[in-house]
Amino acid sequence: MTSLPPANRARSVAIFALPLLILLWPLYHLAERYYSEQLAEQNQQTLDLYVGNLLGTLRRYEDLPPILSELPALRATLRQTEDLETRDAANARLADICQRTGADVIYLMRPDGLTQAASNWDQPDSFVGRNFSFRPYYKEAIQGKPARFFGLGTTSNRRGYYFASDVREGDRLLGVLVVKLDLEHMEQLWGNTPEQLLVTDSDGVVILSSNSTWRFHASRPLSPAKRREIAENIPYPVLDPKPLQIDEKRWISLSRELPETGWTVSIYTPKTQIDRPVRSVLLIGGATLMTLLLLLALLSISRRHYLERIALEAQAKRQLEMRVLERTQELEGANARLQQEVHDREQAQRELMHAQDEVVQAGKLTALGTMSASISHELNQPLAAIRSYADNAKVLLDHQRLDDARGNLEQISSLTERMASIIAHLKAYARGARRAPENVALQPAINDALALVASRRQAMNVELQRDLPDAPIWVQAGETRLRQILANLLSNALDALSEKAPPRRLWLTAEQKPDGIVLYLRDNGPGFSEQALAHAREPFFTTKTSAKGLGLGLAICDTLLRALGGRLELGNHPEGGALVQLHLLPGIPGVMPTPQEETRA
């Protein structure tokens, strides 16, 4: 392989490098401007953060001296400077306040500048007994001005910011109260970052800085008067601050003045913070441009392959069109088969709906049979009572006891109305109708139910023990439905007692609980078997012979109670016999409107 002559190689390199230089020059300026703006925005946020922190710390203590000057303990020691007890009390008070507020030192000065009490009274560097009348904050405070001052502590040799306020009693000056805030920790919060922060006072002297070599240097020349003032007030550890030497070419600075203190807060960022990302952008840009130029070269080399690829794509396109045509024909056939399947499914759906209609009709016939059985079961008891009252009325008429006969006829009329109400209720039940419960007194319903089974109970010689309160117990129910439930349960209890030899007993008790009313019905019969407890709520389940019952009583009672918001619990008593619990919702005392189900058209 022959190498290119030096002149040709130089020309090739120049042709390749010239576009890079032309394109990288504006990229350099754009990257520099972008990162400069980013850095300026970042520095502004950092500066705002540090300024806010600094001002927040100062403002937290600026109102403390005038507030503390009103404390009686501090005023007392200024009035009685020789009283050791009042001075000790003032020292303790200042120490407690200093600990609570986080101040460095709080001290109280007499009018002559001598410290009377201080929070550091028990420390080796105690201010007590020291005279600070030379400090500017003392001079401004005795004139009644809000005093502020930055300075190096003559005792602690630590930088601090002083807030001072006069303590007066009328026009009489009692002393000056001073709060010193330690500023040493402010620099510790800045951390170790490439950015350098510094704070200069009104004289241009650096008082705070993250760079310790800049501290207490003057950013501008000091006049002789300023030098004399520094020597008099001693705010710095040096009497002649050296000039601050900062190479402006190496730093990007941003400053903000604080009118409250006369300070200037500045942030200096190394220019390398911009140079590094700009160089990275140039490297990436150069690499990208070189890649693009190489790609162009590769494209020119591969141009001849382009036509071959177009020919191959055309051939593949023709093959694809053939496949699409074949697939379209297959889809048309599948679509025809799908339409036939949809037609078959619609036909099957119509046949299914017809079968469902026949099932619904059969269900209606079954429900009609269940309703007929329920009506027969529920009307047997009132019919038996009517027959008994009618027989008694004939006997009473034969004996000319017209009033007693009239009472039996009234009972027959009442039972007839009750039968009509039961039939109406069973019709509503068969339709699935639900009526809102009403407020009903429990004792009258129990009395009516007991009256329905009274003759049978007496004939069976069943002893009844009632433990019900005299005051009416009000529940949410319907009177007819409640009497129907109680009559069914009492009838079931008598059926169970008929299988037992005397003595036969029934217990009726009621209990009021936080969540409602519970009525307990207990007998001393054989109780419920496990099978009966498992299936007692199911329609047509019965342990009696077909001549004695249809197995609907407990099922009806359970359904009615649940419609009233209550529930039925079945079980056996520990001493033997069955125990039935009726849980009912409490009603409103004294309100008993006529139930809907007893209103006749």
CA distance to 21, 386, 509, 591, per residue, from 588 (Å): 97, 34, 21, 6
Architecture of domain 186-270: 2-Layer Sandwich (3.30)
Q: Using CB atoms within 10 A of its CB, is residue 384 exposed (0-12), middle (13-18) or buried (19+)? A: middle
- Tokens 């009506």: give the residue: 375
Q: Is the pTM of this model over 0.75?
A: no
Identical fold for domains 339-433 and 435-598, yes or no, is no
- Count the alpha carbons within 13 Å of 17 in the hemisphere toward its beta carbon: 6
CA distance to 22, 302, 312, per residue, from 307 (Å): 34, 10, 9
Q: Looking at residue 254, what is its pLDDT?
A: 81
- Tokens 């240097």: give the residue: 217
What is the rounded distance in angstroms from the CA atom of residue 235 to the CA atom of residue 228? 12
Q: Looking at residue 597, what is its pLDDT?
A: 39
CA distance to 11, 44, 131, 162, per residue, from 206 (Å): 58, 20, 27, 17
Structure token digits, residue 151? 């300075």
Could you tell me where the DSSP H helices lie in 399-478?
Answer: 402-431, 442-452, 454-459
Q: Looking at residue 359, what is its pLDDT?
A: 44
Pair type for strands 516-523 and 504-513: antiparallel
Q: Are 134 and 232 in contact (CB under 8 A)?
A: yes
Q: Looking at residue 547, what is its pLDDT?
A: 42
What is the rounded distance in angstroms from the CA atom of residue 122 to the CA atom of residue 128? 9
Q: Are 130 and 117 in contact (CB under 8 A)?
A: no
- Tokens 């930088």: give the residue: 159
Q: Looking at residue 96, what is its pLDDT?
A: 92
Other CB atoms within 10 A of residue 480 CB: 23
Query: Which runs of E-coded beta strand occur in 203-317?
Result: 206-209, 217-218, 242-243, 251-258, 263-270
Q: Looking at residue 114, what is its pLDDT?
A: 93
What is the rounded distance in angstroms from the CA atom of residue 275 to the CA atom of residue 450? 105
What is the rounded distance in angstroms from the CA atom of residue 319 to the CA atom of residue 525? 93
Radius of gyration (C-alpha) of the chain in whole angstroms: 54
| CATH of span 339-433 | 1.10.287
The answer for residues whose C-beta is within 8 angstroms of residue 264's C-beta and 6 or more apart is 199, 200, 255, 256, 257, 258
State how far Cα 104 lies from the chain centre.
Answer: 43
Other CB atoms within 10 A of residue 208 CB: 22
DSSP lists the bridge partners of residue 253 as 268
Q: What is the mean pLDDT of each run of 10 residues along the chain (601 residues)?
A: 56 62 75 78 81 83 88 89 90 91 90 91 89 88 86 78 90 91 74 76 79 78 80 76 79 82 83 78 78 78 83 88 88 88 86 58 44 60 83 88 87 83 54 61 84 80 87 81 82 84 89 87 85 68 52 70 81 86 84 42 29
Structure token digits, residue 593? 């409107």
What is the rounded distance in angstroms from the CA atom of residue 108 to the CA atom of residue 130? 11
- The domain segmentation of the chain, as residue ranges, is 63-182, 186-270, 339-433, 435-598
First-to-last C-alpha distance (Å) of the chain? 122
What is the rounded distance in angstroms from the CA atom of residue 239 to the CA atom of residue 218? 11
What is the rounded distance in angstroms from the CA atom of residue 556 to the CA atom of residue 579? 18
Q: Looking at residue 400, what is its pLDDT?
A: 87
Decide: helix, strand or coil at residue 283: helix
| 63-182 topology per CATH | Beta-Lactamase (3.30.450)
Q: Looking at residue 107, what is its pLDDT?
A: 92
Q: Looking at residue 541, what is its pLDDT?
A: 54
CA distance to 254, 302, 324, 566, 597, per residue, from 473 (Å): 87, 102, 85, 15, 21
- Tokens 């307990």: give the residue: 520
Q: Looking at residue 108, what is its pLDDT?
A: 94
Per-position b or e across 213-222, b if 16+ CB within 10 A of its CB: ebbbbbbeeb
Q: Using CB atoms within 10 A of its CB, is residue 489 exposed (0-12), middle (13-18) or buried (19+)? A: buried
Q: What is the dihedral of CA 461, 462, 467, 472, to 10 degrees?
A: -80
- Tokens 């759906």: give the residue: 349
What is the rounded distance in angstroms from the CA atom of residue 6 to the CA atom of residue 109? 90
Structure token digits, residue 381? 């008891």
Sheet holding 251-258, edge to edge: 206-209, 196-200, 263-270, 251-258
Q: Considering Cα of 386, then 391, then 397, then 402, what sign does the dihedral take?
A: negative
Sheet holding 567-572, edge to edge: 462-467, 504-513, 516-523, 578-584, 567-572
Q: Looking at residue 115, what is its pLDDT?
A: 92
| 435-598 topology per CATH | Heat Shock Protein 90 (3.30.565)
Task: List the Cα angle 393/394/397 in 5-degree steps.
Answer: 85
